[in-house]
């Protein structure tokens, strides 16, 4: 069996971090088993779907490296839905219902007031042909419901949650089509999964009851359902479902200087028993992907942790991976020198300005200025072809007796204008003899 997974976003807005996690896990599972990954654009809601969001979804997945093997759009598959719909109507598994939204709401309130679950009472099934004809003659157009089999237990072995069981009698027959003919999510999704041969679906635990309903739809269509994995929902740092998570997406991450590898690393592992490890290549993450490692507890998404992972990713990025984002003239040697001090690639520009100058050296006391005048003289005489930093500090230590912070810190301050930064042994050759001598002299 070829594993086929899918990600099915609605183009009614931008992807948020929860969507991205679902896409990633479907993609990873497919990759783990040498399978295929399908992008299904759920654009049945013509009023809310926008092409700019479709383009955005594609761009976001591309930025993350989650390349689909196939893309389909529900808006182009209405003929397939209609054929399945007609067959299920003929089989008695879909029926018309004529209650208005207000009538249904009143029924729900009455049941809740009696302490009963608000389950639809199937009043529409009691209507005869004459009743339906009279309603339609009065201009009442029906919505359509899928008729659950109350005698069939709904069970499945969830890949994360384990054995699941639902009693169809406690569930309302789901509305699958509106009175205006437009489709709701449930049936088209099941039809697509069947038609595209989807074998596994990873989605949030908020879809568990949808799965229970859809399993009966697969059975009614006479097709085997996919295997389902319902993962715990993401929570914010406050330990509960966070509205902020709904606003965090690729645009936010890019604006914050977050690398796609950092997003992948964190979302691949939070909610599992595995440690978050900053790897640039997702291959080890894919090789270790296993639903048995996922827990039932909410998965905590922490932007602070993401920033830490990002810094550790940046420290591993080769020059070729970042060259097009670095300042003009900055080469591999400069990147390798400053990379260990970066939290984001964009910060390399700050160190490029330190290398190129001009810099603002701090004010020194008289003794330190004298030391720097001496350092400027020594810097003009050492061999810059080898290791000028250790040649400079070694000569100054011998001449002045300084050591430790008193030896090194004034030199760093005069040469970079800062108290901290990249290893000076790597940075000084990039600053070069001429600039170094000038900076030491200016600070002295």
Beta bridge partners of 328: none
Q: Cis (ω within 30 of 0) for the bond into 226?
A: no
Residues 343-352 as b or e (16 or more Cβ within 10 Å = b): eebebbeebb
Structure tokens at 384: 């810059």
Nearest to 229, CA basis, from 279, 180, 177, 292: 292
Cα–Cα distance measured from residue 83 to residue 90, given in angstroms and rounded to the nearest whole number? 11
Residues 22/203, Cβ–Cβ less than 8 Å: yes
Cβ-in-10-Å burial (0-12, 13-18, 19+) of 354 comes to buried
Which DSSP string do the residues of 158-220 spell out, in sequence order?
Answer: ETTTEEEEE-GGGSPPPEEE-TTS-B-SHHHHHHHHHHTT--EEEEEGGGHHHHHHHHHHHHH
Which DSSP string do the residues of 277-314 spell out, in sequence order?
Answer: ---SSSHHHHHT--GGGB-SSPEEP-HHHHHHHHHHHH
Residue 249's φ and ψ, nearest 5 degrees, are -145, -165
With vertex at residue 173, the alpha carbon angle to CA 167 and CA 174, rounded to the nearest 5 degrees, is: 115
| 17-32 and 260-269 helices, crossing angle to 10° | 80
Nearest to 351, CA basis, from 327, 372, 387: 327
Q: Does the annotation list 243 as a binding residue?
A: yes
Annotated binding site for ATP: 243
Annotated binding site: 243
């Amino acid at each position: 069996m070829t594993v086929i997974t899918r990600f099915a976003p609605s183009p009614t807005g931008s992807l948020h971090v929860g969507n991205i996690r679902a896409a990633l896990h479907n993609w990873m599972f497919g990759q783990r088993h040498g399978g295929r990954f399908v992008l299904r654009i759920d654009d049945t809601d013509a009023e809310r779907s926008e092409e700019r969001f479709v383009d955005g979804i594609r761009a976001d997945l591309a930025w993350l490296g989650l390349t689909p093997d196939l893309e389909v759009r529900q808006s182009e598959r209405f003929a397939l839905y209609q054929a399945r719909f007609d067959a299920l109507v003929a089989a008695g598994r879909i029926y018309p219902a004529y209650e208005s939204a207000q009538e249904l709401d009143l029924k729900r309130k009455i049941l809740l007031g009696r302490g009963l679950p608000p389950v639809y009472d199937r009043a529409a099934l009691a209507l005869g042909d004459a009743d339906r004809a009279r309603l339609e003659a009065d201009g009442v157009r029906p919505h359509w419901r899928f008729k659950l089999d109350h005698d069939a237990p709904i069970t499945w072995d969830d890949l994360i949650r384990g054995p699941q069981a639902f009693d169809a009698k406690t569930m309302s027959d789901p509305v699958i089509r509106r009175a205006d003919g437009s489709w709701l999510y449930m049936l088209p999704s099941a039809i697509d999964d069947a038609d595209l041969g989807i074998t596994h679906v990873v989605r949030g635990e908020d879809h568990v009851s949808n799965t229970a309903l859809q399993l009966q739809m697969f059975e009614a269509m006479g097709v085997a359902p996919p295997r389902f994995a319902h993962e715990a929902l993401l929570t914010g740092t406050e330990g509960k479902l966070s509205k902020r998570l709904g606003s965090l997406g690729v645009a936010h991450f890019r604006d914050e200087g977050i690398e796609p590898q950092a997003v992948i690393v964190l979302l691949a592992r939070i909610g599992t028993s595995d440690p978050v490890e900053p790897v640039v290549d997702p291959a080890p993450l894919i090789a270790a992907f296993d639903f048995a490692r996922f827990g039932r507890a909410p998965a905590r998404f922490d932007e602070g942790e993401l920033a830490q992972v990002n810094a550790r990713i940046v420290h591993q990025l080769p020059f070729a991976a970042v060259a097009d984002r670095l300042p003009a003239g900055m080469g591999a040697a400069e990147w390798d020198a400053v990379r260990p001090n970066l939290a984001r690639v964009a910060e390399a520009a700050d160190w490029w300005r330190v290398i190129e100058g001009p810099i603002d050296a701090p004010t020194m006391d008289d003794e330190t200025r004298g030391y720097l005048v001496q350092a400027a003289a020594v810097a003009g005489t050492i061999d810059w072809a080898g290791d000028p930093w250790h040649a400079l500090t070694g000569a100054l230590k011998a001449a002045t007796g300084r050591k430790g912070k008193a030896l090194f810190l004034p030199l760093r301050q005069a040469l970079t204008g800062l108290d901290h930064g990249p290893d000076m042994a790597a940075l000084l050759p990039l600053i070069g003899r001429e600039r170094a001598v000038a900076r030491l002299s200016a600070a002295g």
